Structure 1
């Protein structure tokens, strides 16, 4: 063993070299096992695995920590505490190779123009430097250790600033940086936002986390979701739409478009006396354009374009085929995916084992703008008129089966129900809503001259469970109101970046104050409370949580409206007539 030790050495962080000390490896791992299940977590066994499989002459102590963290996560199937140990090793490693003071790190980020670092806006940097002692003392680095392994790795890969391909920022630095960039000189509000982010009570969308601190420097608005309408069923309309989309496929924003006004394949084009290629070829062209705008720093969770299409469109089955593994290579969609805009009439026909008819929007005008009983009546009218309106038919159950099979194979298409979305929308007075956001999470009105935008955040509902195993609704409401204020502040900051002319050029709704508040951690909450998903108590808890979120957001919105006035399209909206 002594002979082996002579050949095994490690490079320390200060550049010095020393022989491997196995007891130090075990001691380091054991030091991070505090509070874990000592009966099932074996630091020595983990250390031995690292020594046997990962050790080589000249390995750095940082690489040794990385190896130990990766080895620990592979042992999580033995006991879940190994996952927490892996996170602690990885976080401790980052702390050892980064500066501690927040202001020092922000100074490095501001002065560094590395590709992986988009930097800081000058005004944010000046606020940080002016109040650096206060911000430095407000940060709690222990809260980094509350992150799980995969969450921390996600932050490392996509969000924490890097220099020379090395991470130079800690999660707490990031949270404080984002909070200050939102609130500017309002230091109290910034610290309040930081504390909630640090405690994992909520999290902003990726675009806020990454772009907000540098939005003025980059002259880019901080918008989480864009929903775009197809401009028209024409060559100009198709390419004007893809040109508009190219403005919104940003590194950290998500984008959706609806295409059901494009005529089906094989239908007559009067202007050219030819036949339409329909959706498949057009979508492939969109997919290729999108690929050119995708960037390495774009997280997988928001990559791709969501393409919404009505289920009665005659090309819908061809579109579904474009995402399957057996798709024709020249038509396969690799950077976008379909989302179905489903009327209730289809689901009734599935239930009653009836026939479903496919049509083309140029033959059957009005279907895209109708919903509910109006759609049902118009759809049946076209079915009864003549065969020229119906291109083909299929058993509704068979189509539904193919949709489900596609979901099993690929995870797509997304399924959204147009009647419910329109009936419950607060923008129904503007017109028919024809699509949702990239993940189906934001439902807004779009038009050829109006792009819907929304800024979002998610609340971690599992963090509101008390030590008495009861849910703290009061605390949830408090956090919801704070999130509402913060998202509104982000929108106000956007107005300082984009001029009125720029808004019109991009087709954005000026004075649109749409925000989205979602949840995460619901499954964790059920597990902690020992509820099964189908349990009555779980259903009641879920309903009360969303009622509390809705009430808190409405209360905060009313307070903001009293101070700043209502948003532009509030008048005649369902909300203006009272919320039940």
Structure 2
């Protein structure tokens, strides 16, 4: 080593008197921070929120100068901390870095202040009194507020009640309003989330103590007071809900409320983080005149009660349901949480409809959309039946205007009927790729062109037959028809579709069919991908896998998926398909580095019972939906927390190990779900259309992969077929017992319920390691607590690391101090090769009887890359894909860390509001971008499924 690296036996005497070995890295770290402070002591001088390459080189050079100067004092010298810091100042001054030297002086002063004992109460005697909610002045009693904060931080090792108190009070003024004091305390916790994630739980508990305390108890309360009063508050809330006609009368008369109250676990409120608590407050908890009448655990017990109303042992089942909900082992979908126990208990998540090719049928479809959306259902509409532009209308001898004008009305209906005033209405229109209007359909979300032929608010999806993909792969031609000329194509799939389609092409060549177009299949495919990249729509979904692998192909055809592309159920003029959703939290079902099958089986059996109950308890706004749901009884059990599980297991998302985990975890979930449905059939009877289904023939979902392979002629299907569980035994059980539900598994986006639970959404990779999330409750700082925990273990989580993480927009890939292993584990969505998303999804898809909401993230997207990814999705047998993401979300603000003001929040409820300090625009994308991004309000509106 060089002499300037201090290779001698140099030691450092700390302020405590302890002697430790000299570490040059600490000098470099402190000096780097000095480059980040401006002359006023603010972290980040303008335009330099992290060190440039030149600055890093300068830091290295100056560090060597400091070491060389210290080395000249002799070989075995013990330096005091202050001596080293003085030498750093001298080197900075001599090198001409006067502004940086000033920053270093300020850095030393700030560090000194942190070591100074906390201020005494007397130092904040500028707040002598405050104004209560009733307008009266009251003495400011610090002891009262401190008691609440101490109850809040109990068990949070890295959160200080005193720090939170002083941070809040020094920003107050005399005679401040009571709500301002509460907001200041919540803000004090919120601003520290990025530094220490435990503050997210502190902020959540402050909301509970203040906002909910005021609403439910009439005053701010400690968490001990909340726990003591929970039972009475629960009973009072149920009775108030019934009186206000929010809940049905049997919610109070039909249950032993005292028994249920005693089963409530108040301590489980501590599982909620700030985003989850505020989301519950704003959107889920019952309120009368904007005053909440239930606490979080009371809300979950009320949901459990609503789902147990048709059970013989109501209280026993309600407590069983409550246990899985309150522990966050499982969570029901948003419509179920919204409406359980209400007088209009629309609990189902999504509805799929087929629109008829006549004016009456079209407007009946629009009316059905409005009625279903009113009560919080997400919609998927199949429009393939409707004749194309230019097709003859027999009744008037005129020509049709095609599908597009009607879709404009669908779009405006979704905006007008905003799901009971709770969130934006949401619908997706599907069109098969042979429809003559398909090219105009592709343009619907463009921001240019005739606005009367654009739908800026609704979603669209391509419903693509295998034959089209074969023509793309083989460079063939593709013919577009009007459905009134080829009426049976809509109901055909697989080899039968291919045979009939070729016959229609021959008729077009012979002049029998006159209204058609012919295009190179590759040309249309490129336009599909181009519009997907430019507008995020239409999504790519595949008709044949959805039908060939459908357990219900004996009673109908799957004509579309739903709003979020995970539901694949039959629809017709007589039946509107309905699906009822909920998701298992994968994180809570890991034990000793593997899946805890015993616990997972127990959770899944309870969850499947709850989902089956939804079908019977549900309010049906449309008769065709009731008919379909009671006949087939489909449910969609999914999962969330997949990325969190990988973090816990130490597996990078982009790896063979992660793909294998996707396979095994999905196999386990599916096995237990199918077994649970079969056992429910013993107790309650099989669903009425079971006979003739694939289930009744002993063909399980993974068996149906062989059917798809046969349909494709042994080509274009490459999927791993490994299994690890006893499926033969389950097959025999199903043949003997039947199934309670025609469909059991679907992975929904879990956009909001994962916020409540505090885990990553469904099967999504981590979007960023630090970012601001926007939803209907405002904006929230989200930080990857697993990453911070690992950086703490390595001893490198500090102010400079936070600065770098912000500067690189939540990415760790260009931060030198972070080991490569950590970089691989915490690669974010756009840093993962999209093939890994597809490979993991393919392993899951073989077990799933429906589909999955699979977002595709592509960094540096190009036509070639998109072509490869979506062809791979088809070859791997995926049924559907969801959004294409080609850019990052809003970049993390470069804000003043030391001042404590971070990432402004503007919630709709009475929560604290922070000023924005500085903000930088989002990164520019490589090209046109999807307008719907994780964290955006529009994206979260897609949680009509969840």
Same-fold status (TM-score > 0.5): yes
1:343 matched to 2:470: no
Corresponding residue SS for 2:554 = coil
Q: Distance in 2 between matches of 1:244 and 1:461?
A: 36
1:331 matched to 2:458: no
1:330-365: CA deviation from partner (whole Å, max 9, x where unpaired): 333244211221222333344445444332212233
Q: TM-score scaled by structure 2?
A: 0.55
Structure 1 window deviating more from structure 2 (550-559 vs 9-18): it is 9-18
Matched with 2:354 is 229
Using a 3 Å threshold, how does the CA distance of structure 1 residues 17 and 141 change in structure 2: closer, same or farther?
Answer: farther
Matched with 1:256 is 380
Q: Distance in 2 between matches of 1:412 and 1:57?
A: 55
Corresponding residue SS for 1:338 = strand
Following superposition, the deviation at residue 248 of structure 1 comes to 1.6
Q: Distance in 2 between matches of 1:61 and 1:213?
A: 35
Corresponding residue SS for 2:637 = strand
Q: Distance in 1 between matches of 2:416 and 2:396?
A: 30
1:177-212: CA deviation from partner (whole Å, max 9, x where unpaired): 111122135211110110110000111112221222
Match of 2:236 among 97, 103, 107: 107
Using a 3 Å threshold, how does the CA distance of structure 1 residues 558 and 422 change in structure 2: closer, same or farther?
Answer: same
Residues 111-122 of structure 1 correspond to what in structure 2 (within 5 A)? Answer: 111=240, 119-122=246-249
Match of 2:491 among 348, 369, 372: 369
1:223-265: CA deviation from partner (whole Å, max 9, x where unpaired): 32221111x2111221122223333223322222100111112
8 Å CA contact 1:5, 1:20 repeated in 2: no
Matched with 2:641 is 521
Q: Distance in 1 between matches of 2:316 and 2:594?
A: 30
Structure 1 window deviating more from structure 2 (22-31 vs 442-451): it is 22-31
Matched with 1:476 is 600
Matched with 1:199 is 327
1:138-170: CA deviation from partner (whole Å, max 9, x where unpaired): 111121121222222222222101122122311
Match of 1:10 among 130, 136, 140: 130
8 Å CA contact 1:251, 1:297 repeated in 2: no
Using a 3 Å threshold, how does the CA distance of structure 1 residues 3 and 545 change in structure 2: closer, same or farther?
Answer: closer
8 Å CA contact 1:421, 1:433 repeated in 2: yes
Corresponding residue SS for 2:632 = coil
Q: Distance in 1 between matches of 2:625 and 2:279?
A: 35
Corresponding residue SS for 2:498 = helix
Corresponding residue SS for 2:497 = helix
Following superposition, the deviation at residue 45 of structure 1 comes to 6.7
Q: Distance in 1 between matches of 2:663 and 2:391?
A: 47
8 Å CA contact 2:333, 2:349 repeated in 1: yes
Q: Distance in 2 between matches of 1:286 and 1:344?
A: 28
> Where do 5+ consecutive residues of structure 1 fail to align?
none
Q: Distance in 2 between matches of 1:362 and 1:4?
A: 79
Matched with 1:123 is 250
1:28-62: CA deviation from partner (whole Å, max 9, x where unpaired): 65664455563xx6777766665566x45654444
8 Å CA contact 2:376, 2:420 repeated in 1: no
Match of 1:277 among 401, 409, 416: 401
Match of 2:650 among 530, 550, 560: 530
Using a 3 Å threshold, how does the CA distance of structure 1 residues 311 and 31 change in structure 2: closer, same or farther?
Answer: same
Following superposition, the deviation at residue 75 of structure 1 comes to 4.5
> Where do 5+ consecutive residues of structure 2 fail to align?
1-120, 218-228, 701-946
Q: Distance in 2 between matches of 1:428 and 1:560?
A: 23
8 Å CA contact 1:308, 1:435 repeated in 2: yes
Structure 1 window deviating more from structure 2 (267-276 vs 379-388): it is 379-388
Using a 3 Å threshold, how does the CA distance of structure 1 residues 18 and 404 change in structure 2: closer, same or farther?
Answer: farther
Using a 3 Å threshold, how does the CA distance of structure 1 residues 16 and 326 change in structure 2: closer, same or farther?
Answer: same
Q: Distance in 1 between matches of 2:191 and 2:401?
A: 50
1:177 matched to 2:305: no
Following superposition, the deviation at residue 176 of structure 1 comes to 0.5
Using a 3 Å threshold, how does the CA distance of structure 1 residues 381 and 5 change in structure 2: closer, same or farther?
Answer: farther
Match of 1:464 among 589, 592, 607: 589
Corresponding residue SS for 1:386 = helix
Using a 3 Å threshold, how does the CA distance of structure 1 residues 341 and 101 change in structure 2: closer, same or farther?
Answer: same
1:84 matched to 2:201: yes
Q: Distance in 2 between matches of 1:569 and 1:554?
A: 16
Matched with 1:65 is 182
Q: Distance in 2 between matches of 1:530 and 1:262?
A: 51
Residues 163-562 of structure 1 correspond to what in structure 2 (within 5 A)? Answer: 163-184=288-309, 185-214=313-342, 217-218=343-344, 220-230=345-355, 232-295=356-419, 297-300=421-424, 303-326=425-448, 328-386=450-508, 388=513, 391-466=516-591, 468-494=592-618, 503=623, 508-562=628-682
8 Å CA contact 2:508, 2:516 repeated in 1: no
Q: Distance in 2 between matches of 1:187 and 1:576?
A: 35
Following superposition, the deviation at residue 531 of structure 1 comes to 1.2
Corresponding residue SS for 1:562 = helix
Q: Distance in 2 between matches of 1:342 and 1:242?
A: 24
User: How many equivalent residue pairs?
Assistant: 562
Q: Distance in 1 between matches of 2:258 and 2:514?
A: 72
1:404-424: CA deviation from partner (whole Å, max 9, x where unpaired): 444445544333211111111
Larger radius of gyration: 2
Matched with 1:570 is 690
Matched with 2:18 is none
Q: Distance in 2 between matches of 1:290 and 1:17?
A: 48
Using a 3 Å threshold, how does the CA distance of structure 1 residues 434 and 295 change in structure 2: closer, same or farther?
Answer: closer
Using a 3 Å threshold, how does the CA distance of structure 1 residues 507 and 559 change in structure 2: closer, same or farther?
Answer: closer
Following superposition, the deviation at residue 461 of structure 1 comes to 0.9
